[in-house]
Amino acid sequence: MPYEKPKTARGQQRVDRILDAAAHLIVEDGIDTITTNAIAKRAKTSIGSLYQFFPNKESVLVALADRYRKSLQTILDKALEENTESVDFTDLLESIIDNVVQFQLDNIAFRAIFPPPSGVPADSLFHEIMSRLMDLFSIWAPEMSQEDKSLHAEICLRVMAALLPLTHDQSEVREEGVRELKRILRAYLEPLIR
């Protein structure tokens, strides 16, 4: 479901409040139970203002996924820019994981919409991250086939999605969980790129 992008700074502020409210409600009540009325109330805006930008709850979720996609795209693009001969693979991998762990801590509803649960139209987020990971594989293992890049990128993504909850305890980072996530992904990836 598409949503209307704001044309003014004031409209953008309203959209940001709506998305922030949706994120908090997802964490508090679960993705299945939130409604556009509850989102509007939490955002302290009228339901009409919400509908000016979002025709339904699904479009709010798409916009929230787009917000997360853009932020993660920046993190992964930075990793691609930093990936030079002088940057060690292990350092780069650990930097990416540290940034994604912090991103999840800063974006409370990310875990609920990624990977997209059944019926949640957040596929663009998943595919964008897949694409960036495949770009990293193109640098790390240029001889790898596209099919293998896709497979290994999806495995990395699924492992991260499954284990990211272990890296947080409420609003704190659990260092032992982060260490284990790094160890698992490093052990998986090193034989593929050496």
CATH label of the domain that carries residue 158: 1.10.357.10
Hey, is 172 helix, strand or coil? strand
Residue with the bigger pLDDT between 132 and 146: it is 146
Q: Check: CB of residue 57 under 8 Å from CB of residue 36.
A: yes
Tell me if the pTM is above 0.85.
Answer: no
The range of the structural domain enclosing residue 115 comes to 57-193
Copy the structure tokens of residue 97. Answer: 């994981």
How many C-beta atoms surround the C-beta of residue 2 within 10 A? 9
Number of domains in the chain: 1
Angstrom distance (rounded) from CA 119 to CA 101: 25
Residue with the bigger pLDDT between 92 and 187: it is 187
Percent of the chain with pLDDT over 90: 37
Residue 121 is assigned to a structural domain of this protein? yes
Angle of CA points 121, 173, 84, to nearest 5°: 75
Residue 116 is assigned to a structural domain of this protein? yes
| Residue 81, pLDDT score | 76
Tally the C-alpha atoms within 13 A of residue 31's C-alpha that lie toward its C-beta: 20
User: Is residue 70 pLDDT above 80, yes or no?
Assistant: yes
Residue 39 is assigned to a structural domain of this protein? no
Residue 36 is assigned to a structural domain of this protein? no
**pLDDT tens figures, 12-59:** 999 999 999 999 999 898 888 999 999 999 999 999 999 999 999 989
Q: pLDDT band for position 100 (50/70/90)?
A: confident
Copy the structure tokens of residue 158. Answer: 């699924």
